[in-house]
Structure 1
Amino acid sequence: MDSPQRFDGYGVLITGAARGIGEATARRLTAEGARVLVADLDEELAGEVAKTLPGAAAVRCDVGDRVAVEAVVAYAVETFGRLDVLVNNAASCTRDAPSFEDQAEETWHRDVDITLAGAMRCARAALPHLTASGRGAIVNIGSVNGVQAFGNHAYSAAKAGLASFTRTLAAHAAPRGVRVNQIDPGTIRTRAWAGRERELEALAERVYPLGRVGEPEDVAAAVAFLASRDASWITGTTLRVDGGLLAHNTGFALAMEPVEDEVGQGG
């Protein structure tokens, strides 16, 4: 007899699910039995993804619009009869101006609003339904940018704020039986890196201790764990899925290599 899948009977809402990490997560959770609402600003692409996933549905979702978010959550509950998991994946990241003083205030507000406040809007609308499910979980997709300087001022500030929000919401939601956790990915091979294979190869060789950049499926696997009952005693935590990036200062190690060689030869 086949063992039961971890998400049999689950209703799942994933924002930004038409591509990249969101799409990979939709595929992973569907493969484990979930019915997934593929929510994305690009409704056409979301529909194409949903057509390939058994029991899935698609909807246009602008996480910057409170009314739209509430409608999407209501649609998920209507479609699946319940909502058990919310994955806050939608984000906005605008390239920095060459000088910080030239940073447009409008782009700052957009990145923070979509990346941080968007997660808040989705969580606020979903929380009553996640409470009612008896096994509710929220997984926020953060970034190593929220921990260490890698550029993108507004996006990075928003991701750092998301980590704080994850902790405070976890404390609030715990008595209601809802767990809230976050994943901080490193460099993931998504469309943002299209045509930049040489850069990815350099990062894999020089920066990442595990010798490669991440794939969307690496993050999806972590989401599946934190969303499942396998993580039933885990809340308010951030799981780094970063190939060892933040554990190892590669630049420091490379700078020290000649010193180590010199000491060895002199001994």
Structure 2
Amino acid sequence: MNVVVTGGGRGFGRTIAQRFAEQGATVVVTARDLSAAQRTRDLVPGALALRCDLTDPVSVRGCAARTGELLGHVDVLVNNGAAFLAESQVDDDAIVRTILSGTAGTVLMTESFLPLLRRSERPDVVTLVSLEAESRSDPAHIAHAAFHAAKAGQGRYAEIMSQRLRPEGIRMIALYPPDFDNSDDAARDGVLTARSVADCVLFAVNQPRDCFIRSFHFEPMPR
């Protein structure tokens, strides 16, 4: 299995890269900061590291082209990279970066990697959305409304593309978790962890090809 993970320099991106590698996959870790991707690469056996700026179409296309040269095809694309924006961090540039990395970045990655996915016998696109994309999200959440909007765009894109790509056998799988413990080795003590979310991804992509799991909708953590 050949897997590409965006935002792979830390947190959930690093965890999902490690979990796929444990299953024997060849993982391409991407990040806007190449050194961050390389740090994950050094922890994941057989992994490769590439720079990919989700706000820059040229960078995304270059990442896809280089991945094609290295691997020939991609079986799983994990759209994990997206900028977070808190109310306290807001300025015009941050708003634009949040929308571009979240919504536009997911669209650009998926569109650019579709030719490589179409060469696979088991193509899946996984998008880490968020509970904050849904109407039941917490209105008191620290995220700026632009982050909610970016995540909602990701989710809607995944829904539309699931319908359009299903005839080709390409599965679009979206996850809507609440905030979870994103540290690399968090213990499972009743709090949703990156490893638990990653295991949902592994469950979905390892299902038979006639099983189309469009989305995972998690319950929010009780206050």
Alignment TM class, shorter chain as reference: 0.7 to 0.9
Letter in 2 for 1:46: A
2:83 aligns with one of 82, 89, 92: 92
Aligned to 2:215: 238
1:81 aligns with one of 72, 96, 119: 72
Report deviation, 1:19.
0.6
List aligned pairs for 1:178-189, cutoff 5 A. Answer: 178-189=170-181
2:51 aligns with one of 57, 60, 66: 60
Report deviation, 1:231.
6.5
**What fraction of aligned residue pairs are identical, expressed as a percent?**
28
SS of alignment partner, residue 17 of structure 1: coil
Structure 1 residues 59 and 74, CA, compared in 2 at 3 Å: closer, same or farther?
same
Structure 1 residues 232 and 39, CA, compared in 2 at 3 Å: closer, same or farther?
farther
SS of alignment partner, residue 190 of structure 1: coil
2:118 aligns with one of 131, 152, 166: 131
Report deviation, 1:52.
2.3
Aligned to 1:144: 131
Report deviation, 1:106.
3.0
More helix by share: 1
Aligned to 2:198: 220
CA distance in 2, matches of 1:157, 1:28: 29
Q: Could you state the TM-score of these two structures normalised by the residue count of structure 1?
A: 0.74
CA distance in 2, matches of 1:96, 1:231: 42
Structure 1 residues 12 and 108, CA, compared in 2 at 3 Å: closer, same or farther?
same
In 1, are the aligned partners of 2:4 and 2:74 still within 8 Å (CA)? Answer: yes
Q: Deviations over 1:58-77 (max 9, x none)?
A: 01110111111111112222
CA distance in 2, matches of 1:232, 1:54: 31
Q: Does 1:33 align with 2:8?
A: no
Report deviation, 1:37.
0.3
CA distance in 2, matches of 1:212, 1:231: 32
Letter in 2 for 1:117: A
CA distance in 1, matches of 2:84, 2:3: 25
SS of alignment partner, residue 63 of structure 1: coil
C-alpha RMSD of matched pairs (Å): 2.1
SS of alignment partner, residue 245 of structure 1: coil
CA distance in 1, matches of 2:210, 2:55: 30
Report deviation, 1:105.
3.5
CA distance in 2, matches of 1:161, 1:181: 15
CA distance in 2, matches of 1:106, 1:132: 37
Report deviation, 1:104.
3.4
For structure 2, the residue ranges without an aligned partner over 5 or more in a row are: none
Which of 136-145 and 52-61 deviates more?
52-61
SS of alignment partner, residue 166 of structure 1: helix
SS of alignment partner, residue 126 of structure 2: strand
For structure 1, the residue ranges without an aligned partner over 5 or more in a row are: 1-9, 192-209, 252-267
User: Whose radius of gyration is greater, 1 or 2?
Assistant: 1
Aligned to 2:164: 172
CA distance in 2, matches of 1:47, 1:106: 27
CA distance in 2, matches of 1:40, 1:29: 17
CA distance in 2, matches of 1:165, 1:214: 25
Report deviation, 1:130.
0.7
Letter in 2 for 1:25: I
Report deviation, 1:81.
2.5
Aligned to 1:108: 95
SS of alignment partner, residue 5 of structure 2: strand
Q: Does 1:155 align with 2:130?
A: no
CA distance in 2, matches of 1:73, 1:228: 24
How many correspondences in the alignment?
Answer: 214
Q: Could you state the TM-score of these two structures normalised by the residue count of structure 2?
A: 0.88
